[in-house]
Amino acid sequence: MHLSSASLSLQPDEWKNHVLGGIGFSNASDTAHPKITNFPFADVEMPVLEGAASACEIWISDSSVTYEQRGLIQYSYDENTLFGVLLMPQTSALEQMTESAFMQIFSLLETCGYRYIFRFWNYLADINGVDAIGSDGADNDEALERYRQFNIGRQNAFVASGRELTGNLPAACALGTANGSLTVAFMAGRSPTLAIENPRQISAYQYPQQYGPRSPSFSRANLVLLSDGTQKVADTDQTLSPQKLLFISGTASIVGHETKHHLDAVAQTRETLANIEIVIQEANKKVGLGEFNMTDLLYRVYVRHPTDLPAIRAEMEHVLGRSFKAVFLQADICRTDLLVEIEATAASTIRLPEEQYA
């Protein structure tokens, strides 16, 4: 579900005891987020562009939830699903920080028995900035874009943990904030998931080296089959299970491996939605026609320049209709020539409350 921070703080304690975790977005100066200590919560410094000054995405379980801490990771779990948040302090170069963060996450999931990762949400400051690096064969005087450093560290952790680098990878996003530490939120389960790719695009893990020494480690989407009584994503008594949950990774105006429609936010939005539609079609081939559709998705839209928001929203209304559900955020995107990135989540049969969305 999506809530304002004020609404989150008003929820009853019984409700909060079923929360697996959440991700919140607000301006650095905004103090609306309540002090949340009983469940994992990623507090991301990222301005909300419409509606309330802050927004939260909350994941709820039908089952009783256990809350624990291991090192830097705050996490919770029920019988089927684990949700965690890791806030990595700035103690070393981003590549090393990222590798350490993912190694800690992989170790936790193996120990707890939730080795199948549904989704990663990654947020890092100055994603397009350039920093000195000191590993992967480079000396300390060499510089590399921070997103490319992040990809090196992430892939190193995948390799060291014996995880796949191609094929069945989790869904993910990586967005830039103005400030803040490396923040990684993640969701995982006990049963295998099904990665979905887009035939219009080269898989991210196969990108050529012009985009960095290591390719990104994620799939275009991840399809999760939930067991009985597992998840809610809306403020209702309805549950997702036994249902299918689709996590669509951060998606942009990329065809093949190349950015399309430079400097044109409207055309980039149109191309991005076309990519999402293809991903949905590919997912429906796996689970049956009509399981997922564009109008049932919950969208999170990352906008590089706030002045582009009216045009981006108008194009989304043109493609999706006026009743689509989205939260719009100001963020830097992994490529400097990308103006908009869109991610989404969907369940196959759940009805969602209109009032929770802009």
Name the residues annotated as catalytic: 341
Q: Considering only CA atoms, give the Rg of the chain.
A: 19
Q: Is 26 exposed, middle or buried (0-12, 13-18, 19+ CB in 10 A)?
A: buried
Task: State CA 114 to chain mean position distance.
Answer: 18
- Residue 83 falls in which region: left (phi positive, over 0), alpha (psi -120 to 50) or beta: beta
**Which residues make beta-bridge pairs with 188?**
82, 117
With vertex at residue 51, the alpha carbon angle to CA 30 and CA 232, rounded to the nearest 5 degrees, is 95
Task: State CA 198 to chain mean position distance.
Answer: 18
Q: Could you tell me if 291 and 348 are in contact, meaning their C-beta atoms sit under 8 angstroms apart?
A: yes
> What DSSP assignment string belongs to 323-352?
T-EEEEEE-B-SSTT--EEEEEEEESS---
Coil, helix or strand at residue 28: coil
Q: Could you tell me if 166 and 74 are in contact, meaning their C-beta atoms sit under 8 angstroms apart?
A: no
Q: Could you tell me if 102 and 94 are in contact, meaning their C-beta atoms sit under 8 angstroms apart?
A: no
At 128, list the tokens: 């397009």
Tracing tokens 């020539």 back to the chain, one arrives at 337
Q: Report helix, strand and coil shares of the chain as percent, to nearest 5.
A: 25, 35, 40
Extended strands (E) in 211-317: 221-225, 231-232, 244-251, 254-255, 258-259, 298-303
| Alpha carbon distances (Å) from 75 to 93, 117, 157 | 25, 14, 20
